[in-house]
């Protein structure tokens, strides 16, 4: 059954959550793209060692977070999802500030590992969005929060680059910590959790291990879809600057890469918003199938881009196709699990997202070192694998509509 939702107030709640996500993720973008520069600043000078440490630093936080997300999901169902978001942002504020004070790359690694203990903010925000709106508006709510996260990638790297260039890389960490604190304040005062759990629901939340979630029909396929969508997205973030660096007649490769990444981020946000609204008309699974099929073909075409304009156009088209994939996959997840265990279930679904986040830079980087075109083709193949999962492993989802009001 759908939870009781007030006809007034859910829009404000979702907008407040989107604002918190946007502020926090703009902050994350202040330092994430510049980790290799910080590694060098901490005394690592060998190129191979910089690449190795950068990969480890990028992977350790989502890896730790992915394995802990189910635990935090169950705690959210038991004690409240807003409390888990507060826990995450408070931890980020302290730990990211500490990153600006480290004196060695080993200390930075420990800080990134500790950050993983408080991560999972994004999947929990999606879970909160899914229960903050009426059931027939769930995709719209998820798309709004997902769009805020995607838009941060259009703003954060540019502003973060200015901060890092003029104030130093360490300053970017302090600014990020400040923005996490601002997001925390906004969350506390602007967002109001829909309702407390009843005692029976709290007992159900405590008893939702993975084997229970896997009993929900098509739970495993949805987890795979989330993993693939996140893997492709993270991989393209790494591949675009590498492709730009190999293009002829590109003098300012960093600036060109920044423009392409920012425009693609806007395209992805637009895609998430559009599919969120279309899901009320077209079955969610069918929309997702089209995105993976067409997006896979465009990923393959990226390998053929011979100049930065073609790369910009193709990358934007990929963003418009695949930018809403996570939104739709999360919406499918919200449809197949009960409301009272939504946090725990989304915690397990987040395991797929975080595994994609951790594995993508490592595998994509290793393949790109051999052949950039093969790395793009790998993304294309994965998109078509996701389409096959929908067609052959979860055919029922192709006709799944959101509940009518």
Q: Is-contact 239 376, C-beta < 8 A?
A: yes
Q: What is the pLDDT of residue 290?
A: 93
Q: In angstroms, how far is CA 193 from the centroid of its own chain?
A: 22
Q: Is-contact 91 117, C-beta < 8 A?
A: yes
**Residue 165: pLDDT band with limits 50, 70, 90:** low
Residues 6+ apart with CB under 8 A from 225: 288, 325, 329, 332, 386, 389, 390
Q: What is the pLDDT of residue 89?
A: 93
Mean pLDDT (whole number) for 124-139 = 77
Mean pLDDT (whole number) for 333-357 = 76
Q: What is the pLDDT of residue 216?
A: 83
Domain ranges of the chain: 10-399
Rank 4-8, 37-41, 90-94, 232-236 by mean pLDDT and report only the highest: 90-94
Q: What is the pLDDT of residue 345?
A: 76
Of 1.20.1250.20, 2.40.50.100, 1.10.3720.10, 3.40.50.620, which CATH number belongs to 10-399? 1.20.1250.20
What is the chain's Cα-based Rg? 20
Nearest to 186 by CA among 343, 21, 31: 21
Decide if pLDDT at 98 tops 70.
yes
Query: Which of 116-125, 169-178, 272-281 has the weakest average pLDDT?
Result: 116-125
The tens digit of pLDDT for each residue in 3-28 reads 444 445 788 888 999 999 999 988 88
Burial of 29 (0-12, 13-18, 19+ CB in 10 A): buried
- Per-residue b or e along 179-190, where b marks 16 or more CB atoms closer than 10 Å to that residue's CB: bbbbbbebbeee
Mean pLDDT (whole number) for 53-71 = 79
Mean pLDDT (whole number) for 319-348 = 81
What is the three-class DSSP state of 352? helix
Q: Can you give the pTM of this predicted structure?
A: 0.74
Decide if pLDDT at 342 tops 70.
no
Mean pLDDT (whole number) for 335-353 = 74
Q: Across all residues in the chain, what is the average pLDDT?
A: 81
For residue 335, give Cα distances in angstroms to 103, 127, 215, 329.
47, 12, 14, 10
Query: Which of 107-121, 194-208, 381-395 has the weakest average pLDDT?
Result: 194-208
Q: What is the pLDDT of residue 29?
A: 77
Q: What is the pLDDT of residue 404?
A: 53
Which residue matches tokens 């420990």?
Answer: 110
Mean pLDDT (whole number) for 66-78 = 73
Query: Which of 179-183, 351-355, 386-390 has the weakest average pLDDT?
Result: 351-355
**Residue 390: pLDDT band with limits 50, 70, 90:** very high
Extract the tokens encoding 253: 């490769």
The tens digit of pLDDT for each residue in 278-294 reads 887 888 899 999 999 99
Q: What is the pLDDT of residue 224?
A: 93
Rank 112-116, 129-133, 344-348, 385-389 by mean pLDDT and report only the highest: 385-389
Extract the tokens encoding 187: 């969350």
Helix ranges, 80-137 (H): 81-99, 105-118, 121-132
Which residue matches tokens 């051999």?
Answer: 370
Q: What is the pLDDT of residue 288?
A: 93
Decide if pLDDT at 153 tops 60.
yes
Mean pLDDT (whole number) for 331-340 = 79
Q: What is the pLDDT of residue 86?
A: 92
- Choice between 189 and 48, residue whose per-residue pLDDT is larger: 189
């Amino acid at each position: 059954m759908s939870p009781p939702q007030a006809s007034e107030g859910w829009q404000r709640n979702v907008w407040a959550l989107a604002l918190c996500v946007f502020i926090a993720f703009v902050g994350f973008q202040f330092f994430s793209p510049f980790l290799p520069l910080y590694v060098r600043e901490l005394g690592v000078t060998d190129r191979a060692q910089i690449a190795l440490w950068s990969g480890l630093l990028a992977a350790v936080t989502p890896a730790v977070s992915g394995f802990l997300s189910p635990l935090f999901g169950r705690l959210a169902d038991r004690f409240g999802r807003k409390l888990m978001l507060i826990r995450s942002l408070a931890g980020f504020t302290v730990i990211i500030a500490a990153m600006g004070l480290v004196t060695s790359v080993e200390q930075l690694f420990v800080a990134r590992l500790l950050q993983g203990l408080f991560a999972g903010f994004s999947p929990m925000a999606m879970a909160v969005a899914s229960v903050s709106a009426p059931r027939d508006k769930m995709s719209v709510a998820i798309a709004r929060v997902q769009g805020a996260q995607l838009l941060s990638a259009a703003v954060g790297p540019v502003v973060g680059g200015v901060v890092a260039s003029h104030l130093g890389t360490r300053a970017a960490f302090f600014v990020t910590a400040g923005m996490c604190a601002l997001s925390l304040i906004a969350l506390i005062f602007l967002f109001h959790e829909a309702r407390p759990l009843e005692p029976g629901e709290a007992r159900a939340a405590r008893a939702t291990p993975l084997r229970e979630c896997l009993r929900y029909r098509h739970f495993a396929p949805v987890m795979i879809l989330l993993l693939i969508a996140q893997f492709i997205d993270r991989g393209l973030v790494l591949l675009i600057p590498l492709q730009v660096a190999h293009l002829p007649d590109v003098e300012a490769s960093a600036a060109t890469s920044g423009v392409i990444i920012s425009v693609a981020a806007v395209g992805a946000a637009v895609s998430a918003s559009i599919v969120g609204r279309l899901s009320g008309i077209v079955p969610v699974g069918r929309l997702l199938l089209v995105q993976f099929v067409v997006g896979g073909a465009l990923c393959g075409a990226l390998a053929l881009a011979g100049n930065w304009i073609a790369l910009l156009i193709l990358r934007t088209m990929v963003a418009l196709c695949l930018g809403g994939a996570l939104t739709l996959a999360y919406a499918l997840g919200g449809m197949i699990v009960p409301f009272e265990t939504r946090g725990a279930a989304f915690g397990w679904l987040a395991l797929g997202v975080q595994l994609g986040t951790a594995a993508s830079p490592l595998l994509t980087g290793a393949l790109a070192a051999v052949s950039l075109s093969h790395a793009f083709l790998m993304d294309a193949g994965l998109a078509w694998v996701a389409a096959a999962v929908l067609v052959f492993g979860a055919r029922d989802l192709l006709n799944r509509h959101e509940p009518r009001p």
